[in-house]
Chain A
Amino acid sequence: MSIQCQNVSKSFGDFHALQDVTVEIDSGQLTAVLGPSGGGKSTLLRIIAGLETADSGTVLIEGQDVTHVLARDRGIGFVFQHYAAFTHMTVWENVAFGLKIQKTPKEKIRGRVNDLLNLVHLDGLAKRYPSELSGGQRQRMALARALAVEPGLLLLDEPFGALDVKVRQELRDWLRRLHDEVHTTTIFVTHDQEEAMEIADQIIVINAGRVEQAGTPDTLYDRPANQFVMGFLGPVTQLGDRMVRPHDIRVSTQPEAGAQEAVVDRLTSLGFETRIVARPTNNGSPVTVQLTRNQINELNLQVGSRVYLSTYPTAQQVSMPA
């Protein structure tokens, strides 16, 4: 299902969670809504779900205006950050809940629930209660529960945020594979840029209640619309009046036209890469540069070395406001 949010605004008291947000999400895509905490990304997801009402603006699902349609009539699946497991029901009953509400025939429920438990690798745990599961298992159960009603749209609110790193990576890969199999339009909220870059087809960056940029991971990384997007998607440093990535700075020991003269202040070895911090001789702010160990050796860099910094022609850069 395709989603359109047009001029959506939402305030909680004095706090403007969303200000005039317009986004478009194509059918069948895996989209990440990325941004810092408190930036409004969860609010946007909850408005699309119908769990929150926008103060103004409209939400269209498949071209239909659903702004005033109840959450339960929107045909969506929703996965909560803290699982929202029905604690008094077994895994099986949790997954069957939506089907029972729809009064699906018992035989069909049994088949569908078993298929889903198989899909999320919880077949053996059907009779367990959520309190007897690990975090990753609970979240897989929540996913199965959301998928049971065959939603046209799957929404996930920081689905892996409460899990440890290893499990998070596993579930991330698994969500991508699942999406490749079932092709349900999926939107997930995350504050982890790596997670978004890794699995999403499209990323919408939201900050302070506004859309900063929307596009493919490559577009966002290579052509960031502004400082915020550039800074949020990867490490940045400042060279002169421009913001660049530390690995896009060229270091030379010979003076060059247009290069900034600087003195190496610090060398930090991080295994295969080495990070140097250089202080420009014109008293500009310190510049961080990322180099390989071989480059350091070739240039024979040490603390106190005089260097000339410029950017590679292909480097992405955003000018800083004066």
Chain B
Amino acid sequence: MGRYALRYGVLAYLSMLLVVPVGMIAYRTFQHGVSPVWDALSSDSATSAIKLSLLIAAIAVPINVVFGIATGWLLARRKMPVPWLVNAIINLPFAMSPVIIGLAVFQLYGRTGWIGQYLFDHQIPVLFTWKAMVIATVFISLPFVVREVVPVLEEIGTDQEQAAEVLGATALQGFFRVTLPAIRWAVVYGTILTVARALGEYGAVNLVSSNIVGQGLTLPLYVDNRVNQLDPTSAYSAGLLLAVISLIILVGMTTLSGRRHRTAEETTA
């Protein structure tokens, strides 16, 4: 009996904590039917938030994927100087509150900051524009691809790369024809985590955003703004949209984790 009590206890706890609140958002959103939701999501301010979120993700994610694969390769192949320091820096966004990262970007790109001074002198606005928000997002979602790619690279070892080399492949050919395909699922998995983080980020971008409705708000910022402006329909609609995106990402990750395991078995073949 104790076993069952524990099982259902855990299920009840998870329901109270996660399922019920998210369900409530869905219920509240559609309380008055579908058309108010559609209206709320197609308003200028909402579409602006969706577009800004997508724009930031579209820039930040590719940067982190390329950086992540390159850094991961250097770390796994022991070609990185001071690897412990590089690892610590890459892990920083895991350990640090996003607000502090936002604050750091704010400092650096502010009128008196090291980079900000130069930018202001040359009249290149960065702080309080989408550019600063991209920088904050890149920082906050930096570790995911690196952390996924390094263990897989270490596991497959250098044999395949060397086999390609002896068969006449240049380093670049070896990377694109052998190494990259071998780590493809780790890259995809890391990319999905990066997308999720980039779309969901609130604290860091909040500090460097202009917070002007219809211009400087990402989806999470927009939800917060609507709550404060006592506009529950818009808040719930945008909130549900974010939740649906998360759900799709979750399903994608679950499907892929099986593949990742299979790849791990293949690589030891």
Interface residues of A (CB under 8 A from B): 49-51, 70-74, 76-78, 80, 82-89, 97-98, 101-102, 129-131, 133, 138, 142, 145-146, 148-149
The answer, yes or no, to whether B219 is at the interface (CB within 8 Å) is no
Interface size on B, residues (CB 8 A): 23
Q: Taking CB as reference atom, which chain A residue is nearest B156?
A: A87
Q: Which of B20-28, B38-46, B92-100, B158-166 contacts A (4 or more CB under 8 A)?
A: B158-166
A131 touches B266 (CB 8 A): yes
Interface residues of B (CB under 8 A from A): 156, 159-160, 162-170, 173, 177-178, 181-182, 184, 263, 265-267, 269
| A77 to B166 CA separation, bound complex (whole angstroms) | 7
Q: Taking CB as reference atom, which chain B residue is nearest A100?
A: B177
- Between A and B, 18 residue pairs with Cβ closer than 8 Å are A51-B165, A71-B166, A73-B168, A78-B162, A78-B166, A80-B163, A84-B159, A84-B163, A86-B160, A87-B263, A88-B266, A97-B164, A97-B177, A98-B167, A131-B266, A138-B269, A146-B166, A149-B168
Q: Compute the total of residue contacts between A and B using a CB distance below 8 Å.
A: 79
List 5 A-B pairs, minimum CB-CB distance, nearest first: A84-B159, A98-B167, A84-B163, A131-B269, A87-B266
| A71 to B265 CA separation, bound complex (whole angstroms) | 29
- Tell me which residues across on chain B come within 8 A of A149, comparing CB atoms: 167-168
- Tell me which residues across on chain A come within 8 A of B156, comparing CB atoms: 87
- Tell me which residues across on chain A come within 8 A of B160, comparing CB atoms: 84-87
The smallest C-beta distance from B269 to any residue of chain A, in angstroms, reads 4
- Tell me which residues across on chain B come within 8 A of A49, comparing CB atoms: 166
A80 touches B182 (CB 8 A): no
- Tell me which residues across on chain A come within 8 A of B169, comparing CB atoms: 72, 97, 101
- Tell me which residues across on chain B come within 8 A of A83, comparing CB atoms: 159, 269
- Tell me which residues across on chain B come within 8 A of A145, comparing CB atoms: 163, 167
Query: Which interface residue of B164, B166, B265 has the most chain A CB atoms within 10 A?
Result: B166
- Tell me which residues across on chain B come within 8 A of A76, comparing CB atoms: 166
Q: Taking CB as reference atom, which chain B residue is nearest A97?
A: B167
- Tell me which residues across on chain B come within 8 A of A85, comparing CB atoms: 160, 269
CB-CB under 8 A for A80 and B168, given A87-B269, A131-B266, A131-B269: no
The smallest C-beta distance from A232 to any residue of chain B, in angstroms, reads 28
| A74 to B167 CA separation, bound complex (whole angstroms) | 10
Q: Taking CB as reference atom, which chain B residue is nearest A148?
A: B167
Q: Taking CB as reference atom, which chain B residue is nearest A85?
A: B269
| A173 to B50 CA separation, bound complex (whole angstroms) | 67
